[in-house]
Chain A
Amino acid sequence: MKFKDYYEILGVPRDATQDDIKRAYRKLARKYHPDVSKVADAETRFKELGEAYAVLKDPEKHAAYDQMGSRWKAGQDFQPPPGWDAGFEFSGRDFEAAPGRDQSEFFEALFGRRAGPGQRSHMHAQGQDHHAKVMIDLADAYRGAQRSISLRMPVLDAQGQVTMQERTLDVSIPKEIRAGQHLRLAGQGGPGLGKGPAGDLYLEIAFNPHPQFRTDGRDVYLDLPLAPWEAALGASIAAPTPVGPVQLTIPPNSAAGRQLRLKGRGIPGTPPGDLYVVLKMVLPPAENESAREAYRTMAKAFDFNPRTHEKG
């Protein structure tokens, strides 16, 4: 287990006031909130922030954390010294780690694991609905697929302790599903209390990044590189689609950036999306004499000044 320097995470000095800590947390939380930020590790950063803030904003935990002293450095191997928390009373060890949805091992070693959801007052209640994210391939949205999904979820055992239980679900991914949509699996969420029914499980769908295809709703975009003569003279080219190549006719005099729409070749649905092929021009390098000669011949053949087409 690595030591975590909560001051460093929040970017505040060790003698920061509560106001400073709150201000620093709020500022960073807005910056790294996973719904707002596009930074790759936003979610991890945000969890760390939540954890750091949960400790430093709480006078008891703050004092206990400081008690361990400043001799630890972030990333150092760490075991809490025995009896380190003697004399501190954490309010029942059942606090909620601010926004932290799951805490680090480090946090749990110091402050214990957050207790599960409170028992509801009535004896028969529907179980909680759970949420998880699932990555699928774009081709799965065209053809449908079956995916095995491993989920870890906290479960209260007979002693009232929270344990992590792993479940593997074989889920049928329906075709026509798109990134950002949710799949509801009835009765696969948290168990019900008493005779209450189980909750539902919601899977949020995202596409694995693809080197060629981009999506926008049901529409799919593909960049297709062309040689200048293919664009100028027209050509018949095998273009990839998520479910296999199609033969594509490039009309003569196609300009770079031109979009060819393949109607209905996007993600299926009612109506299906379209596949847009965006033409890109790739110039062959003039690396040898015959290539240079070809460019010179072109220069002679055309009375062409590309700057005259520029618009302010």
Chain B
Amino acid sequence: MQKENITVIQGSIVEEEVLFTLVELCQACSVEEEHVLAWVFEGVLEPIGESPQEWRFKGESLRRARMAWRLSHDLDINPPGVALALDLLDEIATLRARLQRAGIS
């Protein structure tokens, strides 16, 4: 096993500082464009802009698109199913956060 060292690297916080184009989002998630188009069509992702060439995806889209890909790939779920699963997972997360704030979980 080779080892190499590299000096301190600065990064940017995706959720705060990054807007993705369609191509960049596909590259970041290693998914084909057709999947992202289908997810946008189902409302899983909501880019700003009119045409796919003008679309800009907010930083949070990275997490969402990666989850969408894992769900569709691992569980063989189609885009409407992915949209439903993500909506339900969001709702569960909101409820869990509420429990946590109350110190219950």
Q: Which A positions have Cβ atoms within 8 angstroms of B?
A: 26, 29-30, 33-36, 46, 50, 99, 126, 128-129, 131, 146, 163-172, 174, 176-178, 180-186, 188, 199-200, 202-204, 214, 216, 221, 223, 276, 278, 280
A223 pairs with B62, CB closer than 8 A? no
Q: Can you list 11 A-B contacts with CB-CB less than 8 angstroms, sorted by A residue number?
A: A35-B70, A171-B8, A171-B9, A174-B13, A176-B13, A181-B16, A182-B59, A186-B11, A188-B9, A221-B101, A223-B103
Q: How many residues of B contact A (CB 8 A)?
A: 38
Answer whether residue B53 sits at the interface, using C-beta atoms and an 8 A cutoff.
no
Q: A129-B27, A172-B8 known; 11 other A-B pairs, CB under 8 Å? A: A33-B75, A163-B1, A164-B1, A168-B4, A176-B13, A177-B13, A178-B15, A184-B11, A184-B14, A223-B103, A276-B101
B11 pairs with A172, CB closer than 8 A? yes
| Alpha-carbon gap, A172 to B8, bound state (A) | 6
| Alpha-carbon gap, A164 to B3, bound state (A) | 10
What residues of chain A lie closer than 8 Å to B3, measured between beta carbons?
A: 166-168
B1-42 to A contact mask, C-beta < 8 Å, 1/0 = 111111111111111101000000001111000000000000
Minimum Cβ distance to chain A for residue B29 (Å): 8
A214 pairs with B100, CB closer than 8 A? yes
B76-104 to A contact mask, C-beta < 8 Å, 1/0 = 10000000010001000000010011010
B28 pairs with A216, CB closer than 8 A? no
A29 touching B11 in the complex, CB below 8 Å, given contacts A126-B27, A168-B5, A199-B27: no
B73 pairs with A99, CB closer than 8 A? yes
What residues of chain B lie closer than 8 Å to A174, measured between beta carbons?
A: 10-11, 13
A185 touching B74 in the complex, CB below 8 Å, given contacts A166-B3, A214-B100, A216-B101: no
What residues of chain B lie closer than 8 Å to A203, measured between beta carbons?
A: 11
B103 pairs with A29, CB closer than 8 A? no
| Alpha-carbon gap, A236 to B78, bound state (A) | 57
